[in-house]
Amino acid sequence: MEDYDFAAAGGVPEDGGAASEEPRKKQKKKLTRREKGKIALIVIGSFLGLIALLAVILAPIIVEGNKVITRDGAEPNIYLTEWMNYISDDAPVTDLAIPGSHDSGCFGMPWYAETQDLNFAEQLERGVRYFDIRVNKKGGDYVIFHGPVNGTDYVDLLYQIDEFMDAHPSEFLILDFSHFKNGSEEGVFALFDEIVGAERVVNNTKMTDAAFLDSLTLGDVRGKCIVFIDPE
């Protein structure tokens, strides 16, 4: 029988297997102190970089007055009273994330009816542009109400809107008249047209259908009010 050369065929080496020990020794080679130090620096650097990135992403934003201020005291060039001024005229209105308030005029009320800490003018200064307005006719007056509780004078609210729009023509407001009480609807809009001005209402139309917004850009509505009526 012809002898078979295991070494040539890649089988058992001629030296009885000693050759296979060398790769194993190389695999078990220990890292030098310098190599360990480099790896440690890479790991620590990556960890610190991740912490720094998270600190930037998760840093809280604090509102002070009408400005946005980060915790470290930096003041970005963003003023909440005119935040729409930083947005292009071409931006569709429906693409905007608009800050708003619920029961917007319910400040200075008893705790069980109060929904806002800020009055209407302060909300405007801090960037609120959507307002939920509920008006009650009480005698000859029109007041904001929440349930059985009456609050601030509706006429005061209108003067604050008029003053704000005069001072900040880059902005627009969405006024959602969601509740009327004691037949207040007709008088509410007569006062609005008298104080704020019918010309300030987008297309001079008081709407019930929000689909109208789909065709509007920011440039179309600057300095104006979009008015919705949602009578009960």
DSSP string of 91-135? SBGGG----EETTTT--SS-TTT---SS-HHHHHHTT--EEEEEE
pLDDT at 24: 53
What's the pTM?
Answer: 0.65
Q: For 187-209, write each residue's pLDDT tens digit.
A: 888 999 999 998 999 876 677 67
pLDDT in tens, 157-171: 999 999 999 999 999
Q: Which residues of the chain have pLDDT under 70?
A: 1-29, 31, 35-41, 45, 47-78, 104-117, 148-149, 204-205, 208, 231-232
pLDDT of residue 57: 47
- The closest alpha carbon to 91, from 219, 226, 223, belongs to 219
Q: What percent of the chain has pLDDT over 70?
A: 58
